[in-house]
Amino acid sequence: MKLSIIILAAGLGKRMHSELPKVLHQLADKPLIRHVLDTALTLKPDSIHIVYGYKGEQVRETVADIHINWVEQAQQLGTGHAVAQAMPEIADDAMVLVLCGDVPLTSPATLQALCSQADANSLGVLTVELDDPHGYGRIVRNAQGQVERIVEEKEANTDVKQIKEVNAGLYIIPAVHLRRWLASLNNNNVQGEYYLTDIIALAAQDKLPIHTYTTSERYEVMGVNDRMQLATLERYYQTQQVKQLILAGVTVRDPARLDIRGTVQAGHDVSIDINVILEGDITLGHRVKIGPHTVIRNAKIGDDVEILSHCVIEDVIIGAGCRIGPFARLRPDTVLAEDVHIGNFVEIKKSTVAQNSKINHLSYVGDSEVGSRVNIGAGTITCNYDGAKKHKTIIEDDVFVGSDTQLVAPVTVGAGATIGAGSTITLNAPPDALTLNRTPQKTITSWRRPTKKKS
């Protein structure tokens, strides 16, 4: 049968105290709705329908790269009403999987297990056992253990509130039956809403089998209604990510002080110190060492690279054997070849640095091509921006640049050249020669330092 997925994402999220739609709040630097969608896509559905409401255009823009049938719920009249808005676009022979846009961490395996519980004449409900079920709808079963109905917290009496098996809000239902049950819903309840949960009682009346799949992991079904719940899920997610990394062979000095906000592929004997943030797509070669307080985003890092403390690295490729930091910044479109040294308080931007070159202290190199075996002294900068355009600096192989030098682009320093310390180079420097630009040193013996007059 066809699989159609409906994702409920119309909620305002008042308890978030934010102008942002609830499903756009981020977990591990990715919107909640994106987590749900990425998992849904693993099921290879025939169609995905998102029911949106508050600031719906922002929600649509966030996932514009995926083909989705967007359905507006102009008035939030309950979950049953929300699902009903999407049904006109769904064929009777489809199975409908209902997901919540604010429940981000349900695993593909759990969704697959849930989907296996239903067919054309039965439905499935995802449940979980909670020691403290407060706030959740309770799964009410008869003496034979069959599900009879779901009772929301606000509608539950004292006996029902003692039930610990609760509804996770995720269902798999044959469309032909779902359509009929939705038409029968009423809003005669405390909230004055059309509850989707009421279809369970209607299914029981029609004697259709109601199967449940119970997950053992409560975080898989935890929704986000306030920022505390979001923080709780963030910490759980990070714990799981770091656990996978450790089990794959990475040494993590303190699992509670590593955040992974993307995907990480790591080689053998990698070591990560405290307070490191890994974002985007990251590849770490064998024996990579990452020092404390470092942020790495979208990077490919070769074997035997050592990154010292307090570095910021973004959209770069680092060759094997490089040594970076401490306090270095590598900006986007930087490529370092093998055995390059980038030292403390050095910034590299949109540049290539060939093998065995060193930029060890207090320098800025931007929009540049740096050759092999180059040494750039402390305090050197490439002046690449003239206020309107950016220009390139080319430093060929075996160049030695003295300290406190300005290379004013566009400029080329020829192979084997030496630049004297304290020079401002505005013209091309020829190869295998010393080029310098200094005014003569003077001493004025009659000069006196200004002093303040005594009052």
Q: Please report where in the chains the tokens 């119309």 appear, as a residue.
A: 10
Of 51, 43, 94, nearest to 69 by C-alpha is 51
Residues in the chain, overall count: 455
Q: Quick one: DSSP state of residue 137?
A: P
Cβ–Cβ < 8 Å for 415, 432: yes
| Residues 332/349, Cβ–Cβ less than 8 Å | yes
Q: Give the dihedral sign, CA 284/237/104/117.
A: positive
**Rounded Cα–Cα distance for residues 282 and 265 (Å):** 6
- Cα–Cα distance between 182 and 191 in angstroms, integer? 17
Question: Annotated catalytic residue: which of 211, 286, 293, 361?
Answer: 361
Question: Are 234 and 27 contacting, i.e. CB atoms less than 8 angstroms apart?
Answer: yes
Q: Which residues pair with 261 in a beta bridge?
A: 279
Tokens 């469309």 locate to 175
Residue among 251, 215, 256 nearest 236 (CA) = 256
Distance CA 406, CA 363 (A): 10
Report yes or no: 404 and 380 within 8 Å, Cβ to Cβ: yes
Rama region for 147: left / alpha / beta (φ>0; ψ in -120 to 50; rest) = beta
What one-character-per-residue DSSP string does 84-134 give? HHHGGGS-TTEEEEEEETT-TT--HHHHHHHHTT-BTTBEEEEEEE-SS-T
Do 76 and 92 touch, CB atoms closer than 8 A?
Answer: no
In the residue annotation, 81 being an active-site residue is answered as no
State the first-to-last Cα distance of the chain, in angstroms, to the nearest integer. Answer: 96
Q: What is the DSSP letter of 429?
A: B
The closest of 350, 358, 429 to 390, measured between CA atoms, is 350
How many whole angstroms separate alpha carbon 391 and alpha carbon 396? 16
Q: Which residues are catalytic?
A: 361
